[in-house]
Structure 1
Amino acid sequence: MRSTLPAFNEVWQRQFRSGVLKQIQCFPPESTFLIGCSGGMDSMLLLHLMSDLFPKKIRAIYIDHQLQSVSADWGQFVSDQCAALNVPCIVEAVEVQEGNLEHQARNARYQAYSKYLKANEILVLAHHQQDQAETLILRLLSGAGVHGLAAMKQLDVREQLTIWRPLLDISREQICQWSAQLNVQNIEDPTNLDTYYDRAWCRHELWPMLQKRYPKMQQALSRTSYLMQDAEDILLDVLQQDLNDCGSATELDLTELSLLSTARQRQLLSAWMKGQDTYRPSFEMVQRLLHEVIESKSDAQAALHWNQFYYLRYQQKLFRLSAAEYLAEKNESNIAEQTLCLQLNQRIEILSGNYVAETATIGLSASLLGKKLNLVMRQGGEKIHLYGRVGAWPLKKAIQEAQIFPWQRHRIQILSIDNVMLGVFTPKGFWLAQSEYCEVGGWQPNLIS
């Protein structure tokens, strides 16, 4: 693989080529590359380098955030440059949601990347050494921990995509010189000069002042990010062991959690709340989870809402619920009385789950098949005589004994005919009630999901 690019600096070019060849050994041989091109100097240089090193194995994508009147023209510029290099190009317009503009634009951009990435295709981005240093500074000022200060990885393998940043060890000065020598054309985004935005402020206001005092700051901060990545890898090993000991992605055992040191508790809760999201919660949010939920009174039913999830405690466990699951009671609790008319092997979809009517050793009489059965919501105060048990007892007590979570109890429904209770549908299955309709060789609804 011999380069046709002129050598603006033989040492830099040799180091870059050697680094790239070493890095691609991590990829499967069939890997191809999707280059994120904004039209700026960094991404356009990367486009030229990749087209030289990996012809026929690359595509480019330009994301039009539609935030500036000329953004479509920039997309055409990128498309034209790709055509000159025989590189296929995608131009994708996206809608940026309201909120923090930089954060929402990034979310829209990565959603578009994920939309177009093929199997075995690597997303290649043009972040360089100064980008890395700026990221570290901004995260430090926002109060980030080890995970945030690890900043960007050169090879970032995620659940849905793999990101490669081959320019991450290259300085902006080197990029400018190389681009000038190769006569790489690019556009200038005026927002990059607008110090209203944090990164532009960091680059144009803070950076010159710090660099004047610390000339080697860029390299030092880049080195710090690599050290933080090492620390993060070690921390992740500890976190994974702690998670295995304490629970799963949706629940934690508070007794096991209490055995950990305060620092390990805090780190585990932070990583657990993050889940598959990009960012961890703030330090203050983790503290709120500790004080408002975990340390609350056992009967307080406290809940914390963060990032579309609700966190709440039940007995000695901490649960992470989706907003849809937690708020379902408000949406489902007023369902009117229903009528069921069942046959054997018929599937039933109700609040507590999906059931199928099947024959059983002891069950409901076959005479009930095809008849109209009433299905009503539990109101509270009901009593049930469970088949095989002596006497009737409060349904509430049976629910507590079965450890049905409070946020699932609104799904409990009572099956009856002519005011005779036949049984109760619960998230843990159908409970057969003692009645004149019980018989050997009858049938029961069985929970399948």
Structure 2
Amino acid sequence: MDRPTIDLPSRLLMNLKPWREATTWHIAFSGGLDSTVLLHLLAHLAKTEHLPELKAIHIHHGLQSAADAWPEHCQSVCDALGIPLQVVHVQVQPGASLERAARDARYGAFIEATQANEVLLTAQHRDDQAETLLFRLLRGAGVRGLSGMPRQRVLGKGHLVRPLLDVSRAELEGYANQYSLSWIEDPSNQDRRFSRNYLRNQVFPVLTERWPQAMATMARSAAHLSEAQELLDELAQIDLAQASSISEFDWLGVPSLELSTLASLSAARQRNAVSHWLSALTRLPDSDHWSGWEDFRDAAADASPVWRLADGELHRANGRIWWLSGCWLRTPPPAPEWPDPSLSLALPDNGVLSLTGQTPDGPLHIRYREGGEVMSLPDRGHRDLKRLLNERGVPGFVRGRLPLLYQGEQLLAVARLQGLNGSEQDGWNLHWQPPNEDQGLS
């Protein structure tokens, strides 16, 4: 049976205890039942408890004419409770899934609003968790997906917290009726073309008629799966620690792992470790596309395989796998002129170059590899640049963007490569700071 409504304020406080030191609690306020109850609960608790500053945020998606009246309703509710309201109009991008596009627009606004040491509170409840579990089950989700909505996660510079996941919709309705609250009924919630509405209005009434505790037991299953996912994450961290050996090319700032360590694991542990690593870098492939990892892993030793994912690519070189995204996937344009080598030079899409020590004589300029370059080395004579790069094991993906310093038509130095990056005799050195574009997802 559902817990008595009288427990709701104390349960909410208990769930929010870890976040009491935040500077601000932003309440995502749609004006519907769930967020209205959450807002009312917090406003009344603030009268007797020392809580962070409360602010409400309403997102106007502009998808239906009925929604134009909702900001006014939300404003009146917030005024009555003494809570400031921010109304944000978002642009929902067209796409195959209107639900997903609206969610992306909404959470983009939430990220903008939530700063460091601030928390966004949303009002999803236990019934929502059950719907999420069934919805993802029907889509063939794995353990991570079936663990449902997390109670808390990072959101931009702050955090998102769902303090009502152990509360049923019936409890929220009971509270709302007890305090004679008014709320918005979104007409789109009855549109059964949307998958979640179909589950809520068609499937769950049948399930709960036969199994009255279906919502509670499914939410409990999501909690079990969440615990299982935590164990898988811990295993992944152990495996990734073993594969995170030091590379002589760590200075590139490109995430990489040792392939042989990963390949020694079982297939399931490989997928678990690699997906955990990639989850901070890109949207993950579905189950049908994980064969790309096997092809990438098993390519011939002298091959240079690439596994293309949603937000970047995995490359293989020097016995390691490397994650490339952003400007690392773009060919840098020709380097600009370098009129004063005593000053650093910003290379478009390719970091920063600087020259330390005594500047070589003559006009200097920067180029990138085109093939056929030759370099003169003390005691070794003229050597092909390609052979010199092979000797030093320079990964293929970086060779075309290594800055080359020329004096006229003579190749003087290759930036950053020991023994090729300057003149010990003349006391100068060509230093390159590769592009430091954020390699991860926001």
In structure 2, relative to structure 1, the CA distance for the partners of 1:109 and 1:429 (3 Å cut) is farther
User: Is the aligned partner of 1:267 residue 2:302?
Assistant: no
TM-score computed with the length of structure 2 as normaliser: 0.86
How far has the Cα of 1:276 moved from its partner? Answer: 5.4
Q: TM-score, normalised by structure 1?
A: 0.85
DSSP-derived class of the 2:167 partner: coil
CA contact (8 A) 1:340 1:372 kept: no
Residue equivalent to 2:363: 372
Distance 1:444 1:171, change over 3 A: closer
Q: 1:355 aligns with which of 353, 356, 377?
A: 353
CA drift of 1:322 comes to: 0.5
Aligned to 2:120: 123
**C-alpha separation between the residues in 2 aligned to 1:432 and 1:176?**
71
The 5 Å alignment of 1:276-355 reads 280-291=284-295, 293-326=296-329, 328-329=330-331, 332=333, 335=334, 339-343=337-341, 345-350=342-347, 353-355=351-353
- CA displacement at 1:408 relative to structure 2: 1.9
Question: Which residue in the other structure is 1:423 paired with?
Answer: 412
Preserved contact between residue 376 and residue 413 of structure 1 (Cα < 8 Å): yes
Map 1:153-302 onto structure 2 (within 5 A).
153-156=150-153, 160-247=157-244, 250-275=255-280, 280-291=284-295, 293-302=296-305
Q: Distance in 1 between matches of 2:35 and 2:285?
A: 31
SS of the equivalent of 2:290 reads helix
Offset, 1:242: 1.2
Which residue does 2:428 correspond to in 1? 443
Q: Aligned match of 1:395 in 360, 366, 385?
A: 385
- Give the direction of change, closer, same or farther, for the CA distance of 1:155–1:447 in structure 2 (3 Å limit): closer
Partners of 1:442 and 1:31 in 2: CA distance: 53
Q: Deviations over 1:160-216 (max 9, x none)?
A: 332222321222222223222322111121221111111111111222232233221
Counterpart contact for 2:114–2:155, Cα < 8 Å: no
Conservation of the 8 A alpha-carbon contact between 1:95 and 1:108: yes
Matched positions, count? 420
Q: Which residue in the other structure is 2:61 paired with?
A: 65
In structure 2, C-alpha distance between the alignment counterparts of 1:430 and 1:68, rounded to whole Å: 66
Larger displacement relative to structure 2 (213-222 or 128-137): 213-222
Cα deviation 1:72-111 (Å, max 9, x = unaligned): 3111211111111111111001112232222222122122
| 1:228-279, Cα deviation, whole Å (9 max, x unpaired) | 12112222111111111112882121100012122111111222221156x6
**One-letter code aligned to 2:56:** A
Could you tell me how far apart the structure 1 residues matched to 2:424 and 2:394 are?
28
The Cα shift of 1:288 comes to 1.8
Does residue 1:98 correspond to 2:94, yes or no? yes
Residues 168, 276 of structure 1: CA spacing in aligned structure 2 closer, same or farther, 3 A cutoff?
farther
Q: In the alignment, which residue of structure 1 is the partner of 2:372?
A: 381
Q: SS of the counterpart of 1:392?
A: strand
Alpha-carbon shift at residue 353 of structure 1 (Å) = 4.3
- Cα RMSD for the two superposed structures: 2.8
Distance across 1 between alignment mates of 2:67 and 2:230: 39
Displacement after TM superposition at 1:142 (Å): 1.3
**Greater Cα radius of gyration, structure 1 or 2:** 1
Please state how far the C-alpha of 1:158 moved relative to its aligned partner. 5.5
Distance 2:10 2:136 in 1: 31
- Shift of residue 17, structure 1, vs aligned partner: 2.7
For the 8 Å contact 1:408–1:427, the answer to whether it is kept is: no
Partner Cα separation in structure 2 for residue 288 and residue 46 of structure 1: 45
Which one-letter code corresponds to 1:354 in the other structure?
V
For residues 296-315 of structure 1, give each alpha carbon's deviation from its aligned partner in whole angstroms, at most 9, with x where no partner exists.
Answer: 22344332222221122224
Partner of 1:4: none
The answer to whether the 8 A contact 2:403-2:432 is kept is no
Secondary structure, aligned partner of 2:393: coil
Q: Would you say 1:40 and 2:36 are equivalent positions?
A: no
Out of 136, 139, 142, the position equivalent to 1:139 is 136
Secondary structure of the structure 2 residue equivalent to 1:357? strand
**Aligned with 2:420: secondary structure?**
strand
Deviates more, 1:251-260 or 1:166-175: 166-175
Distance 2:425 2:399 in 1: 30
Going from structure 1 to structure 2, the CA distance change for 1:11 and 1:312 (only over 3 Å counts) comes to closer
- 1:286 to 1:257, Cα distance in 2 relative to 1, 3 A: same
* Local SS of the residue matching 1:431: coil
Instruction: Measure the CA separation in 1 of the matches of 2:272 and 2:22.
Output: 38
Q: Which ranges in structure 2 are unaligned for 5 or more consecutive residues? A: 246-253, 435-442
CA distance in 1, matches of 2:244, 2:120: 33
Q: Cα deviations across residues 402-421 of structure 1 (Å, max 9, x unaligned)?
A: 222222222235433453x2
The amino acid across from 2:428 in the alignment is W
